[in-house]
Chains A and B, each alone.
Chain A
């Protein structure tokens, strides 16, 4: 890691050399030009980089990285900046490398059902381009109109359809990356596998720590003949949770299976008028897709399961417009909650589904303890929970209290055998909770992997994997008298 003095001494040389490498206007260093890059989707953390670069070619990226390696300058990659964990937060002595100009779909091959795209292409743009061929790209994070595929790979993004269709890692076939030392590597292939280690798997979700993604080849799937969504209302959250288990026990893998609690339902209903029952304690949205006759049979089966599980109401979307509305309410849940409080903080833990009642109970107790309301949105099929903590950043101390509350929720997730992040990544935000989830030897193994690709620690330094020193400090502050949080819970 470079220190402040060497970085500052290098600044003029760095800027001069970057200007020599890149076209006019591709190097930004005036504070007002840097301001738009000060944060990503987690706006609680802001920081200005030394400079922003907007390269246009892979060769330019290679030159930039070689230069940064020579001068010891950190590099943080950025796509659309929609990430929710501060992964694209700039480094104060480093370059922010924007991939905004890499926005072309290079090749769309309907025969192989592959699209080869630059990292700055938006997620939804891929499905739109594939649509005339009856194909689409399956992972659909809620931010899909804005987020880019490079960021999706860096975070291993999910979405509402990943129980059936998988995460980003299941839907990409080949990556091109530039390493910290400026080497261009092709990982994976356009066949179903490649010789050597599974580096596409290692790279996916690595949060810009191991390389800069410069090209992505994604798989495209045939659009299902029909998709239908069923909405079920419950007067008890635990009952809704059990209904999810019943659907899966019946051998059904829905295309999407989402749950929202009362506060989230009401916020979404007020915002987009999706037609949700406002008085329910929880709703489930269950989407079934496949060929027409199969979907019809599955809907009948799911209706019966839901009613037998105690649903107070079960509705199927009558037409495509109603189906879209049901989903719109879910996809707009975050902004909807944003309307009922000055600020909200979105958490992202995953838990074994059967532990849902006790986790919701725990969250509700913490909510009282911290005096902050919570709306829960849940990818119920795969156990990924998004509690949204409502707060007001203008009230002194409330952000800090919110962060402390959020940290407790994540620790609760770990305590029941889950994880601190299902799809948003660790970034800057959850770096201390990594100390709760992993032992020192595991963190040290992560650092060894990092050094294998980035020996000088220049790519996104300080994110994703905490130093053991940081964990020691966090632990000293956190574990009072050797007591772990949630001592009453069984450990895994």
Chain B
């Protein structure tokens, strides 16, 4: 499929939907259809709206249309030895930029480099009145107007149809290695916290099956010095980080509901029944469990975090409920962008 600007067609569809008050279900490749509450509405695909609009390696910026496959963006960046530093999970061969931003999904480098939202510089979108709007831009620093671009990250399309996104990109590290240490979860968390206070070039961490894996990246000098500090063994060329990011690691092959717990990193191992995989220095924990949702939510909440039904389980209760006052302002914000409630209604919360 060739590069194509489908702005006009998309805007016409939205205008027609506004006129007939038809809810729309915004989709890219469908790689993340499993996520969040059940999609409803007339499908509206962004896939025809694709192509890299601008890429300036020395400006560290790329701008692409929302239907552009992530693979295409990553290949283009790699040719210049650059990357999307938030290492987005694809969850499908045709995953698009739009879905990546709408879900704010971020990979193993997240606690060290930032999430998708940290790299968004600007966007073009269609709001629920069918208007074309442009916020932010292609420059690193921009405080003119409210940060509408970052607000789209994780909004699951409920605030607008993304047309174009500009992202900050970074150079690929010169070198990377993975160290592995035999540790139980509690000891692994303790080590991670001690190391996190030191200036080490750690770019990913994961604990599974009694082993702690750490990815180091940077110059050869930095990696060598850090390896000595961390101890353990070097794991040669590993696909581990890719498998974890894409949930292709054997841990994820299971029938039980998959929960994502986002917690303060130093939360001790929680005593919920099931199997755990720790990531992000302890901040992101995957739990395979048939425990009641309310137990899992209560444990996450008590620790100062939240729990999401990621796969399987009761997707109608996918996200941790919001306090009533906060939900009130969420609803008003939704109305400010999408007064007729047409974009992905109920995908995030029933009220939005």
Contact = CB atoms under 8 A, between A and B. Distances in A.
B257 interface: no
A418 B143 CA distance: 11
Contact of A166 (B118, B224, B329): B118
Contact of A197 (B133, B308, B330): B330
B64 interface: no
Nearest to A424: B143
Interface string A421-446: 11111100010001001110110011
Interface stretch (A34-42, A67-75, A263-271, A288-296): A288-296
A290 B172 CA distance: 16
A448 B337 contact: yes
B140 A384 contact: yes
Interface string B120-135: 0000000101011111
Interface string B300-335: 000011101000000000011110011111101101
Contacts of A223: 199
B219 A294 contact: yes
Contacts of B224: 293
A413 B58 CA distance: 19
B142 A422 contact: yes
Contacts of B131: 441, 445
Interface string B197-232: 111110000000000000000110110111000000
A452 B265 CA distance: 33
A133 B197 contact: yes
A449 B335 CA distance: 9
A162 interface: yes
B336 A251 contact: no
B193 A293 contact: no
B286 to A, nearest CB: 14
Interface stretch (A185-193, A317-325, A364-372, A478-486): A185-193
A69 B280 CA distance: 43
B284 interface: yes
B144 interface: yes
Contacts of A292: 225
A202 B201 CA distance: 31
B151 A197 contact: yes
B139 interface: yes
A190 B284 CA distance: 12
Contacts of B141: 158, 162, 167, 350, 379, 382-384, 419, 422-423
Interface stretch (A95-103, A108-116, A121-129, A395-403): A108-116
B346 interface: no
B133 A441 contact: yes
B148 A113 contact: no
B144 A437 contact: yes
Contacts of B171: 248, 251-253
Most B CB within 10 A of own CB, among A209, A224, A293, A296: A293
A204 interface: yes
A198 B151 contact: yes
Contacts of B306: 189, 191, 194-195
A296 B153 CA distance: 38
A199 B153 CA distance: 10
Given A201-B153, A245-B58, A422 B139 contact: yes
Contacts of A298: 219
Given A197-B151, A352-B139, A293 B221 contact: yes
Most A CB within 10 A of own CB, among B61, B146, B219: B146
Nearest to B57: A249
Contacts of B144: 419-421, 426, 430, 434, 437-438
Contacts of A441: 127, 129, 131-133
Query: Chain B interface: which size bin?
Result: 35 or more
B59 interface: yes
A374 interface: no
Most A CB within 10 A of own CB, among B143, B145, B308: B143
A232 B264 CA distance: 43
Contacts of A354: 56, 58-59
B60 interface: yes
Contacts of B321: 195
B155 interface: yes
A475 B333 CA distance: 30
Contacts of A191: 262-265, 283, 304-306
Interface in B173-208: 174, 193, 196-201
Interface in B45-86: 56-61, 81
B154 interface: yes
Nearest to A220: B197
B139 A111 contact: no
A188 B56 CA distance: 33
Interface string B25-55: 0000000000000000000000000000000
A186 B322 CA distance: 11
Given A192-B283, A248-B60, A421-B142, A113 B196 contact: yes
B277 interface: no
Nearest to B267: A191
Given A162-B140, A201-B150, 11 more contacts: A189-B262, A192-B262, A192-B265, A194-B306, A197-B155, A383-B141, A419-B141, A422-B141, A424-B143, A437-B145, A438-B145
26 contacts: A166-B114, A185-B325, A192-B111, A195-B320, A196-B319, A197-B330, A198-B104, A199-B151, A202-B151, A209-B146, A225-B199, A249-B57, A290-B201, A291-B221, A294-B219, A298-B219, A351-B139, A352-B139, A382-B141, A421-B142, A422-B142, A441-B131, A441-B133, A442-B135, A449-B146, A453-B329
The 7 lowest CB-CB distance pairs between A and B, nearest first, are A293-B221, A251-B171, A201-B150, A382-B140, A422-B141, A448-B336, A452-B332
Interface of A: 110-113, 133-135, 155-156, 158, 162-163, 166-167, 169-170, 179, 183-187, 189-199, 201-202, 204-206, 209-210, 222-225, 245-246, 248-249, 251-253, 290-294, 296-298, 350-354, 379, 381-384, 417-426, 430, 434, 437-439, 441-442, 445-446, 448-449, 451-453, 464-465, 492
Interface of B: 56-61, 81, 104, 110-111, 114-115, 117-118, 127, 129, 131-135, 137-148, 150-151, 153-155, 159, 170-172, 174, 193, 196-201, 218-219, 221-222, 224-226, 262-266, 280, 283-284, 304-306, 308, 319-322, 325-330, 332-333, 335-337, 348-349
